[in-house]
Amino acid sequence: MNNTQSTELLFELSRPGRRCHRLPPCDVPTRPLTEMLPATALADQPPPLPEVAESDVIRHFVNLSTRNMSIDTNFYPLGSCTMKYNPKRHERLAALPGFADVHPLQPDETVQGMLELLYEMQEFLAEISGLPAVSLQPAAGAQGELTALYVAAAYFRDINQPQRKRVLVPDSAHGTNPASAALAGFETVTVKSTAEGLVDLADLRSKLDERTAVFMITNPNTLGLFEKQIREITDRLHEAGALVYLDGANMNAILGITRPGDFGADMQHYNVHKTFTGPHGAGGPGSGPIAVRDFLAPYLPVPVVVKDGDSYRLEFDRPKSIGRVRTFFGNVGILFRGYCYIRTLGPDGLKAVSENAVLNANYLLARLKDVLEVPHGDRCMHEFVATARKLLRNRKINAMSIAKRLLDFGFHAPTVYFPLVVSEALMIEPTETESRETLDRFADTVRQIVEEDPAFLEKAPHTLRISRPDEARAVKNPILRWQPSAGNPTPEGAAASR
Ligand SMILES: Cc1ncc(COP(=O)(O)O)c(C=O)c1O
């Protein structure tokens, strides 16, 4: 990132009379606007737009575009978020007019290609999960969770078990799990983890009863560990008449190796934007389809893409459906990229994705565990959670300082302070798309950082334009709009006051 770039807003660059282009003098008679528009439609003053040259505009936006860290510019080991490389070929394919220019209100017979693609995507997701009925509608993992919980609620109402009002969630779960449960009208009950970081079966049993609707489990869990006792868990839940929901955010570890439907899950979501690539970050765009067992299929959102003979159509006539959860058919652009990814790799390729993701994570774990404690074992799935708690105790270096200092070396920070069951957590997910050289560079950098002066680390990053913003204030009180103020009453005043 270039620190010599201007930080001025276009408003601040504004100079009276400066223009991007000038029109030739008008050589036809003019008429006052009031002859064409009612006076009430006319503003007293022209809007206070910045007056700038074309080069100002171009430099401003090009410079802004280089400020972001992204998977295209830097290694991005953001645990749980699966920031893997997004193939550019998919962008070119998605831009083909036959896909990019269709309108969601076109009659089915004019969008057969797109419907075929969505139908096949439903089939692929059913096959990969081992759960036969799919809805492509949810726009993100969290919305997939919510949709599946609505489906579960509709099912229990339908079979006359409205007393099932509880959703059990492990204490290591992503925050979206309890949030989705609450939004869907359930009461959330937390299930403890053992010292090994797995679901505490005794605690689960003690909380399981006829009020339980769903157990939401992430497998591999957010500590990067496979819940080995998953069969026992799903059997207990089913004996109690409850459903098992699989948070599929970590599918990148198990593609083609095991299937949630085979180990007893009844419903799951996918994060297509993570597992099957789709440029994401900063809140979107996402795609969180859900897959469920046959007996839950009638409750899925409408429409579902169905095949009649050789043609495809959207089916709306499903009387038990929970209805729409999103406009049209979901985030088709991201589903499209996921489809390309699955088709390109095929079954063997997808399996290799997970094998390499797990291999890369274990390689980094092995290279870092003597400098960053990894409390939950020597082996992980596609990610692992390290902790800086000993470093904090012995050298006053916390997880945040390590994360911030990594930015100086051109690495995106790992996820920090999550999952909550590990203090001073650094959650590292390299993904399969990184080379051994990149992993080595990252490991060498972390090893160097933990040897640095704690007082220096506390003020990192040192090379970026902004060092440690007040993040809570930035979120709660974002200033996204330029306003004339006492100090900067006009665009001109703003510029003059700098
Ligand atoms: C384990 C887990 N579950 C659910 C989600 C929610 O997914 P999304 O961000 O697509 O809503 C995430 C996102 O990071 C996650 O890591």
Domain of 401, CATH number, reads 3.90.1150.10
Q: Which domain holds residue 354?
A: 348-466
What's the 187 CA to ligand 1 centre distance in angstroms?
Answer: 20
Contact in structure between 183 and 146 (CB atoms under 8 Å):
yes
The answer to whether residue 382 sits within a structural domain is: yes
Query: Whose alpha carbon is nearest atom 5 of ligand 1?
Result: 141
What's the 173 CA to ligand 1 centre distance in angstroms?
Answer: 10
Task: Please tell me if the CB atom of residue 246 comes closer than 6 angstroms to any atom of ligand 1.
Answer: no
Residues 397 and 422 placed together within one structural domain of the fold: yes
Task: Please tell me if the CB atom of residue 80 comes closer than 6 angstroms to any atom of ligand 1.
Answer: yes
The answer to whether residue 72 sits within a structural domain is: no
Residues 2 and 137 placed together within one structural domain of the fold: no
- Whichever domain contains 283, its CATH number is 3.40.640.10
Sign of CA dihedral 458, 461, 463, 469: negative
The answer to whether residue 81 sits within a structural domain is: no
What is the number of structural domains in the chain? Answer: 3
CA dihedral defined by 173, 236, 271, 430, rounded to 10 degrees? 60
Q: Which atom of ligand 1 is nearest to the CA of 145?
A: 4
Contact in structure between 192 and 204 (CB atoms under 8 Å):
no
Residues 189 and 325 placed together within one structural domain of the fold: yes
Task: Please tell me if the CB atom of residue 148 comes closer than 6 angstroms to any atom of ligand 1.
Answer: no
Give the β-pairing of 267-269 and 290-292: antiparallel
Query: Whose alpha carbon is nearest atom 13 of ligand 1?
Result: 81
Residues 478 and 458 placed together within one structural domain of the fold: no
- For ligand 1, pick from 172, 227, 271 the residue to mutate: most ligand atoms within 8 Å of CB: 271
Residues 132 and 268 placed together within one structural domain of the fold: yes
The answer to whether residue 140 sits within a structural domain is: yes
CA 378 – CA 259 distance, rounded (Å): 24
Q: What is the pLDDT along the chain (498 residues), one digit of tens a residue?
A: 455 667 788 998 999 999 998 889 999 999 988 899 998 999 988 888 899 999 999 999 998 888 888 899 999 999 999 999 999 999 999 999 999 999 999 999 999 999 999 999 999 999 999 999 999 999 999 999 999 999 999 999 999 999 999 999 999 999 999 999 999 999 999 999 999 999 999 999 999 999 999 999 999 999 999 999 999 999 999 999 999 999 999 999 999 999 999 999 999 999 999 999 998 876 668 999 999 999 999 999 999 999 999 999 999 999 999 999 998 889 999 999 999 999 999 999 999 999 999 999 999 999 999 999 999 989 999 999 999 999 999 999 999 999 999 999 999 999 999 999 999 999 999 999 999 999 999 999 999 999 999 999 999 999 998 889 898 998 999 888 877 765 555 544 444 443
- Cβ atoms within 10 Å, residue 385: 30
Residues 377 and 477 placed together within one structural domain of the fold: no
Task: Please tell me if the CB atom of residue 144 comes closer than 6 angstroms to any atom of ligand 1.
Answer: no
Residues 281 and 385 placed together within one structural domain of the fold: no
Query: Whose alpha carbon is nearest atom 9 of ligand 1?
Result: 141
Residues 268 and 218 placed together within one structural domain of the fold: yes
What's the 274 CA to ligand 1 centre distance in angstroms?
Answer: 9
The answer to whether residue 251 sits within a structural domain is: yes
Residues 307 and 425 placed together within one structural domain of the fold: no
* Last residue within a domain, chosen from 301, 327, 345: 345
Tens of pLDDT, residues 26-46 = 999 999 888 999 989 999 888
The answer to whether residue 80 sits within a structural domain is: no
Tens of pLDDT, residues 435-493 = 999 999 999 999 999 999 999 999 999 999 888 989 899 899 988 887 776 555 554 44
CA 436 – CA 75 distance, rounded (Å): 12
Task: Please tell me if the CB atom of residue 271 comes closer than 6 angstroms to any atom of ligand 1.
Answer: yes
From first CA to last CA, the distance across the chain in angstroms is 23
* pTM exceeds 0.85: yes
CB-count burial class (<10 Å; 0-12, 13-18, 19+) for 105? exposed
* Last residue within a domain, chosen from 275, 310, 345: 345
Task: Please tell me if the CB atom of residue 141 comes closer than 6 angstroms to any atom of ligand 1.
Answer: yes
Which tokens sit at 151? 């489906």
Residues 314 and 410 placed together within one structural domain of the fold: no
What's the 488 CA to ligand 1 centre distance in angstroms?
Answer: 42
The answer to whether residue 401 sits within a structural domain is: yes
Q: Which atom of ligand 1 is nearest to the CA of 273?
A: 10
Q: Which atom of ligand 1 is nearest to the CA of 286?
A: 10
Contact in structure between 227 and 217 (CB atoms under 8 Å):
yes
Q: Cα angle at 251 between 247 and 254, to 5 degrees?
A: 130
Q: Which atom of ligand 1 is nearest to the CA of 81?
A: 14
Is residue 190 classed as helix, strand or coil in its secondary structure?
Answer: strand
Task: Please tell me if the CB atom of residue 218 comes closer than 6 angstroms to any atom of ligand 1.
Answer: yes
Residues 211 and 303 placed together within one structural domain of the fold: yes
The answer to whether residue 27 sits within a structural domain is: yes
* Last residue within a domain, chosen from 312, 345, 378: 345
| 134-170 core/surface letters (b: 16 or more CB in 10 A; e: else) | bbbbbbbbbbbbbbbbbbbbbbbeeeeeeebebbbbb
Give the β-pairing of 425-428 and 415-416: antiparallel
Query: Whose alpha carbon is nearest atom 8 of ligand 1?
Result: 141
Task: Please tell me if the CB atom of residue 280 comes closer than 6 angstroms to any atom of ligand 1.
Answer: no
Task: Please tell me if the CB atom of residue 334 comes closer than 6 angstroms to any atom of ligand 1.
Answer: no
- How far is CA 269 from each of CA 144, 293, 342, rounded to the nearest angstrom? 5, 12, 16
What's the 239 CA to ligand 1 centre distance in angstroms?
Answer: 29
Residues 321 and 392 placed together within one structural domain of the fold: no
